[in-house]
Structure 1
Amino acid sequence: MTSAPRDSSSDRPLLALIMRLAGIAGFGLMGAFIKLASETGIQIAELLFWRQLVAIPILLTWAMLAGGLAQLGTRRPKAHFVRVAYGVVGMVLNFGGVILLPLAEATTLGFTAPMFAVGLSIVLLKESVGIWRWSAVAAGFIGILIIAQPGNGQIPLFGAAVALGGAFMIALIAIQIRDLSRTEKPLVIVFWFSAGSVIVTLPFMLWVHEPLTAYQWWLLLGMGIAGTWGQVLVTMALRFGNVSSVIVMDYSNIIWATLFGWLFFATLPAITTWIGAPLVVLAGLIISWREHYLARRAFVDQRQATGT
């Protein structure tokens, strides 16, 4: 799943790292709000609805400040529809993983997305995968087994399966967004995903909605703001730094998840998570490094072939 290196004329690597780190902190806080809200009895369909509805006015304001609402237009509604379909399924699974598992374990299993991406690149993109990426996949799989401890009962296997399903959807969505990004700006992709998700989840929300307390409304508002904050900053970080450079910050989410798990739920990761998580993180970093290396090599080969 390699891609050509971006134009480095606007690179501001330190700013990119800070923005990515702050964005990932937003996602970590969103996970805590999701878990807190679910514990009050709010159904997952309503969580999805409010997560995206809160984002829409923020994104509309961003569009107005960036040049007007006209830039939200698209000529690829079918591709956005597919993005919404994938995204809603992915949110159900990722939110479900957070609800069913401790935050740190759910977050760590989410880091398996790069491993699923390797498999999808073979099936969908017909790429050849060498020893480096296969070794990373093997290391990550061992890490998953250590964390999940099948048959041990330390963490719910159904919850682990849901979290892994969410990671698979993240990998699938990444490939689909890569295709959309050829013609669409990040703001357009994010806006139509939020708008489409609201439309899809509205009927379910009307079915499960019950009167909410002030505390529940604050949790939903916090979830929506934290999620949008994370989405915007993570996207904007790519304007100032290479994916291969800033993606390292994504793994800081295990720190945020551990911190928020301790602060809000008085839980700390099990010893098996401390052992398995480094293997999963290492696998993701190796795959990301290999993607960057292959992209750079393809770029150099192309320049040499054209004599530029």
Structure 2
Amino acid sequence: MDGSIARPRPLLALGVRLLAALALATMGMLVKLAGERGAHLMELIFWRQLLTVVLLLAGLALTGRLAMLKTRRLPAHARRAATGLVGMVFTYGAVLLLPLTEATTLGFTAPVFAVLIAMALFGERIGRYRWAAVVIGFAGVIVVMQPFSGLHEGVTLTGVAVGLIAPFMVALISFQIQDLNTTENPWRIVFWFATLSLPVAALALPFVISAHDPVTWALIVGMGLVGALAQMLLTTSLRFGSAAVILLMDYTALLWASFYGYYIFDRAAPTSLWLGAPLIIAAGLLIAWRERQLARSRVRSGE
């Protein structure tokens, strides 16, 4: 046995996801800084994936654990790589198109999209509690973005659309990772995602790459290192806990995004964000509570 099979450890999962939220917020800050200095979206994705592959190969080679990368589920990894690459495009795109706090807040709708995905793809019955959460979550989006009274500074409809597609992809990817975690270890999942998506990103590189100064390269390398760490933390958290519960820790990213937004980008979060974000977070909490109730019911019924 190579330790591939996931073992539920809720407290560990929550702690790891808490660190993942910090890493993701930091990566978003570095992506935005690098983008403002001329780095292209696809260039950032290429370097992020290349650094991940190099770091994993070097680390596992030095510790004599390269055999951990062997897999019998290459098609599943390929599907995860395809959706993951699309997800990265929209996640990075949201950070580049929107202020950091707004992009982060829209990302909190992932649990809401997870409910809709469970209904559409897996035929899961959605009751009144989770439907209420869906309504509350999107009401929060409307409050934050204020589309009917004029979008506030730095926010565009294109940015909002990209910012909503990103958490949809995150929710979809979470289901894929949970499935892979039943047979694969985190190193293997992250390695094959980066390896299979890297050639696609490389195809775009000749059309978007440009010369950068040392500071920009430092930001790109830092983004890649923090991104690799975030990917490992995210995958590990899903290995030890259910997506419905551990996604709650993602909300702490708003604190870090607000901190970075104010001290790095000299932009305080608007009042509408602090009014709407609690609605989006409440929707996630309601979904998590209901998922927990349903899980307990299934256990009692012997399913």
* Aligned partners of 2:186 and 2:232 also within 8 Å: no
Give the aligned residue type for 2:36.
Answer: E
Give 5+ residue unaligned stretches, structure 2.
1-5
Opposite residue 183 of structure 1, the aligned amino acid is T
| Structure 1 match to 2:290 | 290
Q: What's 2:194 paired with?
A: 194
CA distance in 2, matches of 1:239, 1:207: 37
Alpha-carbon distance change, 210 to 92 in structure 1, aligned in 2, over 3 angstroms = same
| TM-score, normalised via structure 2 length | 0.90
Question: What is the match of residue 262 of structure 1?
Answer: 262
CA distance in 1, matches of 2:86, 2:48: 14
2: distance between equivalents of 1:223 and 1:214?
14
SS of equivalent residue, structure 1 residue 265: coil
- 1:48 is aligned, of 42, 45, 50, to 45
Q: CA deviation at 1:223?
A: 0.4
Q: Corresponding residue for 1:276? A: 276
Is the Cα–Cα contact under 8 Å of residues 148 and 157 in structure 1 kept in the other structure? Answer: no
Q: Give the structure 2 partner of residue 80 of structure 1.
A: 77
Query: Structure 1: which 5+ residue stretches go unaligned?
Result: 1-5, 304-308
Letter in 1 for 2:117: L
Asked if 2 retains the 8 angstrom alpha-carbon contact of 1:30 and 1:226, the reply is yes
Instruction: Indicate which of 36, 56, 69 corresponds to 1:39.
Output: 36
* RMSD between superposed Cα atoms in Å: 2.1
Amino acid at match of 2:81: V
- What is the aligned partner in structure 2 of residue 306 from structure 1? none
Residues 87-140 of structure 1: CA distance to partner in whole angstroms, max 9, x if unpaired?
111111111100111111000101111111111111110000111111111100
Instruction: Write the letter of the residue equivalent to 1:198.
Output: L
Aligned-pair distance for 1:238?
5.0
> Residues 50-199 of structure 1: matches in 2 within 5 Å?
50-64=47-61, 68-151=65-148, 152-154=150-152, 155-199=155-199
Question: In 2, Cα distance between the equivalents of 1:283 and 1:66?
Answer: 43
Identity, in percent, stands at: 44
One-letter amino acid of the structure 1 residue matched with residue 163 of structure 2: A
User: What is the TM-score normalised by the length of structure 1?
Assistant: 0.89
**Is 2:222 the counterpart of 1:225?**
no
Q: Distance in 1 between the 2:106 and 2:53 partners?
A: 29
| Contact preservation (8 Å) 2:143, 2:272 | yes
